[in-house]
Amino acid sequence: MNRPLTVAAILLSMFLSAMEATVVSTAMPTVIAELHGIELYGWVGAIYMLATTVTIPLWGKLADVAGRRPAMLAGIALFLVGSMASGLSRSMTTLVLMRAVQGLGAGSLQTVSLTIIGDLFTVQERAKIQGVFGAVWGVAGMIGPLVGGLIVTHASWRWVFYLNLPFGLLSAALLVMFYREAQTRRPGALSRVDWAGAALLSTAIVSLLLGVGGRAWQLTIPLALALGVAFVLVERRAVDPLLPLGLLMRPVIRASAALGALMGAVMMGTLMYVPLYVQAVERGTPTAAGSSIASMLVGWPIASAVSGRLIARLGYRPLVLAGTTAIAVGATALSIFLGSGAVALTAVSFVLGVGMGLANTSLLIAVQESVTRAERGVATATAMFSRTIGGALSVGALGGLLGAQLSGKVPPSVLDALVSHGHGASTSAHDAAYEAVIGAAMRPMFYVVTALGVVSFAAGIAFPRVRPPEQASSDPAAPGAADEPPDALDHGV
């Protein structure tokens, strides 16, 4: 096996899936101008995260029982089919459906990528390499809005999706040629995958997202709760559960899941709605909207690399605390300085990026080192699941809040025009009045983001004290050390 080229393939797939979650944020106003249907604005982003979220536990389980490479290649195939179909869409409804197909594949790309990294590198190596991978994920997520703005300014918005094809095919080719995994398949295990649990969890999350988005919440919220209870009962009896409930009883995994959800909510709420504010209220271009949050791509990788190098010396908790402190400060500043100009938004975005970079790397390694290799796929999926469900719920709920605030105040046709590419040339008093209404309607959304940032700081304080991985790996009693097969990290490279 060629480890460098395998890592290159994983970097490509991770970059694509992470960037696709956010690249549409600054392209969407142009999409609306062509396809119309602003009532589906939030769903183009939310459906992608929804599909990713509901399949993450399933992909993690498939990676454990069927093999990392088959699960990864299947995810790439789905992702590329969804990308091509999204670019060919002729209506907002079709675009939403094809984004769901993309999300189904992205669940594999995000989860199985990090699981493979957990297999390829020793604990000491992983503490450094996860910083690099965390930086890639962060850069991809943050650069997405900027790339989207540049594409719609100089080409068609459809290229936001078409550009995935060559890079995705290259990633798949590298995996086929150069990745050889240790034996992970268990005879007959695939037939014992908890499909009933997967169906219940998926339906529960869909109902929950519909409810928090304001869609028949009197029905969907109770349905989500009932399905959640049914899922727990099924998991307790399943021979090979999709999400072993015992994992969530471990303090590190439980705390990491809570923090991941909160940070995902802050991040996606900022990424999806700050560009909309810049374009709809401040008359900014798509490029300006992307630039408003692009400084995160500077703060995230720097902090992630620093975090990866300091874990062995400081442990997880100090870095988690530093990260959540920065997130709380940045989220609070967002509400205070929104509308104060590009410089203020750039500074706020940088601080948020630093917080995400410091905390995310530490949380992921803490989770992976709390389990054995046989559980690593599911444990990684749990960490990713919490972050994406937090982001999806945030986007859906904030979209519902915005819709309620604007209901009856701004005609859909006017809103389409205000957020479409090139509207900044308009200076009429009529448009200015509507822009003021939209600005007032969006402010409560950012107050919610601020509150989530403060709660994440409180959750960071409660994160358990765990020894650095260098100490834990040398202690045979440490979780994930004594149980690790002797050759689990030796793949002949």
Per-domain boundaries in the chain: 3-178+242-474, 194-241
Q: What is the pLDDT of residue 33?
A: 73
Worst-scoring range by mean pLDDT, 28-37, 342-351, 463-472? 463-472
Angle value at C-alpha 113, between 242 and 109, nearest 5 degrees:
75
Worst-scoring range by mean pLDDT, 169-183, 229-243, 465-479? 465-479
> Is residue 473 scored above 60 in pLDDT?
no
Helices (H) and strands (E) in the chain, counts: 20, 0
Between 350 and 184, whose confidence is greater?
350
Tokens coding 399: 């979209």
Distance CA 189, CA 186 (A): 5
Between 333 and 10, whose confidence is greater?
333
Express as a percent the part of the chain with pLDDT over 70. Answer: 81
> Is residue 350 scored above 50 in pLDDT?
yes
> Is residue 10 scored above 70 in pLDDT?
yes
Q: What is the pLDDT of residue 138?
A: 61
Model pLDDT for residues 139-184, shown as the tens digit of each residue: 676 677 677 777 877 888 898 889 889 889 999 999 999 888 765 5
**DSSP label at residue 372:** -
> Is residue 118 scored above 80 in pLDDT?
no
At residue 414 the predicted structure's pLDDT band, cuts being 50, 70 and 90, is low
Distance CA 149, CA 21 (A): 14
Q: What is the pTM (predicted TM-score) of this model? A: 0.71
Q: What is the pLDDT of residue 263?
A: 93
Worst-scoring range by mean pLDDT, 31-35, 65-69, 170-174, 248-252? 31-35
Which H helix or E strand runs over 35?
Answer: helix 24-35
Between 373 and 87, whose confidence is greater?
87
Express as a percent the part of the chain with pLDDT over 90. Answer: 19
At residue 296 the predicted structure's pLDDT band, cuts being 50, 70 and 90, is confident
> Is residue 477 scored above 70 in pLDDT?
no
What phi, psi does 266 have (nearest 5°)? -65, -45
Fold classification of 3-178+242-474 (topology level)? Growth Hormone; Chain: A; (1.20.1250)
Q: Report in angstroms the alpha-carbon separations of 262 from 271, 336, 474.
A: 14, 20, 32
Q: What is the pLDDT of residue 21?
A: 63
DSSP string, 31-98: HHHHH--GGGHHHHHHHHHHHHHHHHHHHHHHHHHT-HHHHHHHHHHHHHHHHHHHHT--SHHHHHHH
